[in-house]
Each structure stands twice: as structure tokens, then as C-alpha cells.
Structure 1
Amino acid sequence: MKKFLIYIAKIVAITILTAFVLDGLYTFIFTHSNNRGKIEKVFNSNAQKYDVVILGSSRANNHFVAQMFEDKGLKTFNYGMSGGHLFEASLMLKLMIERKYEIKNVILEADLNLSNEHQAEGISARFLPYIHNSEVIKDHFSNEADFNELYYIPFYRYIKYDGKIGFREAFFISVDRKTNALDNLGYYPLEKHKNGNMKNNIVNLNPLKHNKYYEEIKELCKANQINFIALMTPICENTKGMNYFDKVKKAYPEIHNYENVVIEDKYFSSCGHMNDAGARVFTAKILNDFFSKN
């Protein structure tokens, strides 16, 4: 029995040691990556200076043509993340400030995601390799139900989110395999699809009266003397429940409503996402309305 217990103890010790070693190895790999994605780009960067930083979900990623801002002399990057929520947008801005970024203007796509305060696990997981290396990441996750497991159990986060930050991703970083996430200054252009879904139903969607992460972004901008521009971006005209945008405007009067600036189907790849042509029409409107004096 004694030998059996010693054997079990050795197995447990080896398992724990292996977890610590793998955790350290994976973390080392991720903290030396800056060409796979937008989160890595910010975390592993030195202080940057931007005239315009764009934040939000895919409706930011696909709708703001960063090069058009650059053509006006405005140093810009589109940090919109497809699938992301305001949880991730807020954390991205916090990380930039932690990295001593100097930002003049933040454009936030704030419309559909005002209806929730959830994290988008597929996106938020990409912050987790740095949870021991950044106080703002640690604090941002501190109220999540699984924080203790993510923070204190070695290698747990890499196992739980293996599809996002597991072996495959660590391997691709190791062999310096790039993605297209950083192309076009972060803007991801979409094509017009013949079979694109041009119907949408947001009848049951309601903006929260006080979205925690939206308010965080607004307060961060105020505290750091950043001009805050919150926008609702276009959606196709066949959407049911368009009064959602009126509800947003009532709850958050400072958010500028641009949902009907581009409406024709020819400018959309799907009902909620404009194609490149639509994005260029929209971006030109934003530049004219907010940056024409630059």
C-alpha cells in the first residue's frame, strides 16, 4: 500500500511539474508573437501613437477602411475583432493604455453588442496567455466565474481553450506563420455574395440601460483625454426590429446613429455586414462628418 501511495504521489508530482513546464513554454511562445493577431500585436508592442483607433466587433472590422483614414493623414488601425463583444473591446483599450499608447480618437462600433455584457469566449481566450503578465488582463477577468481556475491552475487555460490558444496556435506562432488579421491596417474587406443572407431579425434585442463595458470605454477615453466617437453602423433594410437603434439612441444619446446611411443590398455582403464598396461609402461619410477639418 505504501508503494502504491508513493507511486501515485510521483504521478501527481510529475503531472503538476509537467503542467508548470508546459504553461511556461506556451506563455513564452505567445509573449514573443506579434504577427498572428491584434491582441498579440498590442501586448507585445511598445508605446504607439495613433490619431484614430477603431474598436468593436465584425461590424467594426468590416466597416471602417483604415487606409482611407491614413490617406487623410490620420495614423489609424482597425482593432475590430470579428465575434467580439464590448467585453473584449474594453480590454483591448485597457491594454493599449497599459502599453502607454497615445491615442487622439477612439471610434467605437456600439450597437448590437450593447444588448449584453458577456465575453465572447473565442475572442477573450486570446487574452489569457498574458493573464500573469498584465494587471489589466488579470483584473478584467477577475469577476468571471472561472477566474481562479484560469489564473491559479497551471496550463488549465491552454487546455480549456485548446482550439484558440492550444498546441496548433502555439505551433503556428513557433514557425512564424502569419494570418491576415493585420492586413489592410486591420480592416477586413468583404465581397458581395450572391447567396448572402439579406434578412435579419432583431425584434427581441434590447440595449442594456447601463452596459458596463461601454461605460468603461467611455470613462477610459475621458480619463486619458481621448476623443470618444461612438457609432451605430449600417444594417440592411430588410431587418425586422429596426426600432432597436431608436432604443439605443434613447439610452445612450451620445451614440451617433448611422444605421441607415447605407441601405442598398448591393453594398452588403450579408444583412449585418457591408461589403468593401459599402464600407468605403460609409467610411467616407464618417471622415467627412468627424475629420473634415484635419
Structure 2
Amino acid sequence: MKRFFKKIILFLVILFVASLLLDVIYTAIISHSAERNKIENVIHTSNKKYDVVFMGTSRANNHFVTKVFEDKGFKAFNYGISGSHLFETSLLLKLMVANKYEIKNLILEADLSICNEKRDEGTTARFMPYIHRNEIIKNHYKNEADFYQIYYLPFYRYIKFDNKIGFREVYDVAAKKPTNTLFNKGYYPLISHKKGNMKNDISSLKVIRNKYYEEIKQICKQNNIKLTVVMTPMCQNTKGLDYFDKVHQLYPEIHNFENVITDDKYFASCGHLNDEGAKIYTNYIMNFFYN
């Protein structure tokens, strides 16, 4: 029996050491990368100056054409992240401020994300390699139910978020495999001629006073960033479009531009404009706020 327990202890020690070693290796490799996604790019850069920054979900990433603003003389970048929630947008803005980004204007897409205070797992994964070395990231996640496992168990976060920061990502970083995330000044056009689902149902969404949206407003106020908040177009074959009116009722400062574009030919899917639609929408934003 004593021999058995010794083997168990030895196995656990070996497992712990192996986990610790893998954690160190994965972290060293992934955190060395600076241009594979927008999050690591912000973490690794500082003292950037922008006239206009776009932030939000895929409905920012695919809807704000940076070139439209650049052609008018604005230095701009689209930091929208597909799949993200306001939870991650707030954290990314905190990191920008900490890294001494000078931002004159922030255009924030906040519509469907207002109803949700949860984190997005895919976007969260991108912050995980830095959680031990960055206090802002650590503090942002410290109230999450699995914080202690993520923070204290070696290699746990790489197992949990394997699909984003697992072996494939380590290999791609080590091989210096490029991505297109930072192309087009952060704007990701949807140019496929094959339409996605042109029906949607958002009738179950409940508008809430979102704590992370409130954080973003406070950060902008403290750092003299002019915040403009907008809702972006949704196809008309959507149940529950009154959701956008409810958002505006709770937050009158959020501009309801949901019906600025209604023709299906400008949509790649019900919730996302195609490249042509995004250009029309961005020009509308430009003319509405900056002319």
C-alpha cells in the first residue's frame, strides 16, 4: 500500500512539473506574438494616436470601413472583434488607456451586446496567455467563477481554451504564420456572394443596464475620449426589432441606426452587412457625425 501511494505521489509530481513546463513554453511562445489578433496587438503596442477608433462585436468588425474615415483625413482603426461581448470590449479599452493610446473619438457598436454581461469564451482565450503578467487582465477576470483554476493551475487555461490557444496556435505562432486580422486597418469585409441566413429572432433578448457599457462610458469620461454609441443595421425579416427601441429607451445616447439600411442585397446575413452595405453605412455615420 505504501508503495502504491508513493507511485501516486510521484505521478502527481511529474504531472505538476510537466504542466508547469508546458505552461511556461506555451506562454513564452504565444505571448511573443504581436500581430495575429487585435488583442495581442494592443498588449504589445503603446503610444498610438487615433482620431477615430471603432470597437464592438462582429457588427463593428464587419460594419465600420476604416478607409472611409482615412480618406477624409482621419487616422482610424477598427478594433471590433467578432464574437466578443462588452465584457471584452471594456477590457481592451482599459489596456489601450494603460498603454497610453491617444484616442480622440471612440465609435462603439452596442446593440445586441447590451443584453449580455457574460464573457465570450473565444475572445477571453486571447487574453489568457497574459493573465499572470498583466494586472489589468487579472483584475478584470478575478470575479469569474473559474478564476482560481485559470490563474493558479498550471496549463489549465491552455486546456480549457485549446481551440484558440492550444497546440495549433503555438505551432502557427512559432512558424510565423500570418493572419488577416489587422488588414484593412482592422475592418473585415464580408464579400461572399452566397447569402447566409436572412431570418432572425431576437424577441427573447432582454435589455439591461450593462455594467461593462457603464465602465466604457466612465473610462472615456476620465480620459477625454469622445464616445459615440450606435446600433447597426439588421435585416427586416427579424422578429423582435422593437428590441432596438428598448435599448434607446434605456440609453437615449445610443443612436438607433438599425433601419438605415433595409434592402437585403446589402446584407451578407441577417445580422451582418456585406462589404457594399458596410461602405454605405460607414458613409452614413461619417456624414451624420462629422460633416
TM category (shorter chain) comes to: over 0.9
Report the CA distance between 1:11 and its aligned residue. 2.1
Partners of 1:65 and 1:84 in 2: CA distance: 19
Partner of 2:175: 175
Partner of 2:276: 277
Report the CA distance between 1:133 and its aligned residue. 1.3
1:192·1:268 contact (CA, 8 Å) conserved in 2? Answer: no
2:30·2:169 contact (CA, 8 Å) conserved in 1? Answer: no
Q: Are residues 1:235 and 2:234 paired? A: yes
Report the CA distance between 1:192 and its aligned residue. 5.1
Report the CA distance between 1:194 and its aligned residue. 4.0
Q: Which runs of 5+ in 1 are unaligned?
A: none
Question: Equivalent residue of 1:198, what SS?
Answer: coil
Question: Equivalent residue of 1:229, what SS?
Answer: strand
RMSD: 1.3
1:193·1:270 contact (CA, 8 Å) conserved in 2? Answer: no
Question: Equivalent residue of 2:164, what SS?
Answer: helix
Partners of 1:47 and 1:258 in 2: CA distance: 32
Write the deviation string for residues 55-106 of structure 1: whole angstroms up to 9, x where unpaired: 1111000000011111112111111111111111111111111212111111
Question: Aligned letter for 1:112?
Answer: L
Q: Are residues 1:24 and 2:24 paired? A: yes
Q: Following superposition of structure 1 onto structure 2, how do residues 62-141 of structure 1 map, counting pairs within 5 Å?
A: 62-141=62-141
Report the CA distance between 1:10 and its aligned residue. 2.4
2:202·2:239 contact (CA, 8 Å) conserved in 1? Answer: yes
Q: Which runs of 5+ in 2 are unaligned?
A: none
User: How many residues were matched structurally?
Assistant: 291
Partner of 1:222: 221
Partners of 1:25 and 1:267 in 2: CA distance: 46
Report the CA distance between 1:44 and its aligned residue. 1.4
1:30·1:40 contact (CA, 8 Å) conserved in 2? Answer: no
Question: Aligned letter for 1:135?
Answer: E
Partner of 2:43: 43
Partners of 2:21 and 2:251 in 1: CA distance: 48
TM-score normalised over the length of structure 1: 0.96
Partners of 1:110 and 1:117 in 2: CA distance: 12
Report the CA distance between 1:240 and its aligned residue. 1.7
Partners of 1:242 and 1:162 in 2: CA distance: 36
Partner of 1:258: 257
TM-score normalised over the length of structure 2: 0.97
Report the CA distance between 1:9 and its aligned residue. 2.5
Write the deviation string for residues 242-273 of structure 1: whole angstroms up to 9, x where unpaired: 11111001000010111111111111111110
Partner of 1:206: 206
Question: Aligned letter for 2:45?
Answer: S
Write the deviation string for residues 91-140 of structure 1: whole angstroms up to 9, x where unpaired: 11111112121111111100011111111111111111110111111011
Report the CA distance between 1:167 and its aligned residue. 0.8
2:233·2:273 contact (CA, 8 Å) conserved in 1? Answer: yes
1:192·1:267 contact (CA, 8 Å) conserved in 2? Answer: no
Partners of 2:97 and 2:199 in 1: CA distance: 39
Write the deviation string for residues 25-59 of structure 1: whole angstroms up to 9, x where unpaired: 11111221012111111111122111111111110
Question: Aligned letter for 1:239?
Answer: T
Question: Equivalent residue of 2:282, what SS?
Answer: helix
Partner of 1:58: 58
Partners of 1:216 and 1:19 in 2: CA distance: 36
1:192·1:266 contact (CA, 8 Å) conserved in 2? Answer: no
Partner of 2:197: 197
1:190·1:269 contact (CA, 8 Å) conserved in 2? Answer: yes
Partners of 2:68 and 2:135 in 1: CA distance: 35
Report the CA distance between 1:14 and its aligned residue. 1.9
Question: Aligned letter for 2:17?
Answer: L
1:106·1:227 contact (CA, 8 Å) conserved in 2? Answer: yes
Question: Equivalent residue of 1:63, what SS?
Answer: coil
Report the CA distance between 1:191 and its aligned residue. 2.1
Partner of 1:159: 159
Question: Aligned letter for 2:9?
Answer: A
Write the deviation string for residues 210-240 of structure 1: whole angstroms up to 9, x where unpaired: 1011111111101111000110011112212
Report the CA distance between 1:161 and its aligned residue. 0.8
